[in-house]
Amino acid sequence: MFQANTPRKGFSKRTWIFLLVFTIIIVTLFYTSVPSLFTLTGNVISENSTILGTDIAGFLTIPEIFVKGELGNIEIQGNSGFLYVESQKMPLSNFGFDKIILKDFDGKIQFNENNISILKGKAKQVFLNSISLMPDFQGYIDVNLEPGFELNSIKIDKNVLIKNLDYIASGEITLGENKMTLNINNENVFIEDLATTISVESNTLHIDGKVRILKIIGDQEISVMN
Amino acid sequence: MSSEQQLGKKRHLLSVTNTRKAYIPIYFLNIVLVVSIFYLKWKGIDINDYALIGAGIFLFGSLKMTEIHRLSNRYHIDDMHLIHIKGIFNKISRSLDFFAISDLDVSQTAWQRLLGFGDVNVRLFSKDSTSTVKNINNPHRFADILKERMIWCRRNIARKDGRI
């Protein structure tokens, strides 16, 4: 009846249950509506997995891309900021270094059309303008690029799986064995499960791989599903 | 005797229920949910039907439950008692005789002070010690009325006994 006057100690069990239910509902709402919020853009495809989908190749506007895992050899061009290699801090712009090669890179990279916001991981060898920074180093070298590195081009050696892409893009896509070409001009491109090599050159993203779902929504709607 | 008393209903000097202000955090979460749904709709994003149904059930259920919870706790002051009635369909009623009350105080957190509601802690002579009238509007006014009634009641009894 009248409640005993005990001091309040945090939330009651009922409040925790209520908050839990609320959290589940709000997460479900966003997870089912905007899955890209919860999925990493890309991961490396394991060697054993097979990707079923339509052949896709072409070039598009560069979205925000995040990939992680064993990405193989990575070639980056640009010359701003610093590259941290183990305990060394390498100024890139001052010495005119404009080409970074990371051999057998294992880590994460996030970039967009302008810059690399994350590059962190380890590589077997690091080259600046074809000069090995640690030629005698055994094992993996810690590598970290200062955020905001101005990007000219990037090439990732291995196939990566991009789970979701949903953005306004322009460019050209060639689909299927018949090499059907689609010209895209500021249209909404929705991609699900794209297994591709990635390279960025001249402000365009070049892809070459397979896609499970592709939707292009503009004046006309084009859908490809597998 | 008033017609209300003739019908068997007891006249209360003051009746209060829990204030809706106590449920503001729940209302806030509901607003967050509604705003999220409208935001997704505004952005032209398709909302999953099941998620939408879940959100609807949550909104309806939480508003209904807060109202049920609020109305299931009623506090009355009558001539001689402080009464707590709990429940809507199945009711449990407990009366505290004014003579059993030793003193009372009002407790408010900063949040409660800001919104003008709080708890009135009613201390008893018995070992049950303290009981609380929770989350009511104007707790100071409630406490003042309760104190006035207690004094009036005790003075009346003393007068009847010839002590005054």
Å from B132 to nearest chain A CA? 5
Q: What is the pLDDT of residues B111-135, one digit of tens each?
A: 889 999 999 988 887 655 678 888 9
On chain A, the residues whose CB falls within 8 A of the CB of B66 are none
Burial of B63 (0-12, 13-18, 19+ CB in 10 A): middle
| B33 → closest Cβ in A18, A26, A32 | A26
The first and second tokens of residue A146, run together, are 């200062």
Percent of chain B's residues with pLDDT above 90: 33
| A29 → closest Cβ in B29, B36, B131 | B36
Cβ of A1 within 8 Å of Cβ of B46? The answer is no
ipTM for the predicted complex:
0.74
Q: What is the pLDDT of residues A52-82, one digit of tens each?
A: 688 899 999 998 888 888 888 999 988 788 8
Cβ of B48 within 8 Å of Cβ of A33? The answer is yes
Cβ of B50 within 8 Å of Cβ of A33? The answer is no
The first and second tokens of residue B116, run together, are 């003008």
On chain B, the residues whose CB falls within 8 A of the CB of A14 are none
- Is the pLDDT at A45 greater than 80? The verdict is no
What is residue B2's predicted lDDT score, i.e. its pLDDT?
43
Distance CA A115, CA A200 (A): 11
Q: Which of A2, A18, A215 to substitute to test the interface with B, most B CBs within 10 Å? A: A2
Lowest mean pLDDT among A198-202, A218-222, B149-153: A218-222
| A1 → closest Cβ in B51, B52, B84 | B84
On chain B, the residues whose CB falls within 8 A of the CB of A4 are 129-132
Rg (CA), chain A: 23
What is residue B58's predicted lDDT score, i.e. its pLDDT?
92
| A22 φ, ψ (degrees, to nearest 5) | -60, -45
If DSSP codes are grouped into helix, strand and coil, which group holds residue A201?
Answer: strand
Per-position b or e across B151-162, b if 16+ CB within 10 A of its CB: eebeeeeeeeee
- List Cα–Cα distances, B90 to A3, B85, B101, in angstroms: 18, 10, 27
Cβ of A2 within 8 Å of Cβ of B29? The answer is no
Whether A1 has its CB under 8 Å from any CB of chain B: the answer is: yes
Percent of chain A's residues with pLDDT above 70: 86
What is residue B129's predicted lDDT score, i.e. its pLDDT?
66
Give A55-83 as a DSSP string: EEEEEE----EEEEEEEEEEEEE---SEE
Cβ of A1 within 8 Å of Cβ of B50? The answer is no
Chain B positions with Cβ closer than 8 Å to A: 26, 29, 32-33, 36-37, 40, 45-48, 50-52, 54-55, 58, 62, 84, 86, 92, 94, 96, 121-122, 129-134
Whether A131 has its CB under 8 Å from any CB of chain B: the answer is: no
Burial of A220 (0-12, 13-18, 19+ CB in 10 A): exposed
Cβ of B55 within 8 Å of Cβ of A25? The answer is yes
Compute the average pLDDT of residues A153-166: 85
Q: What is the pLDDT of residues B34-74, one digit of tens each?
A: 999 998 888 777 788 888 899 999 999 999 999 998 988 89
Cβ of B46 within 8 Å of Cβ of A33? The answer is yes
Average per-residue pLDDT in chain A? 82
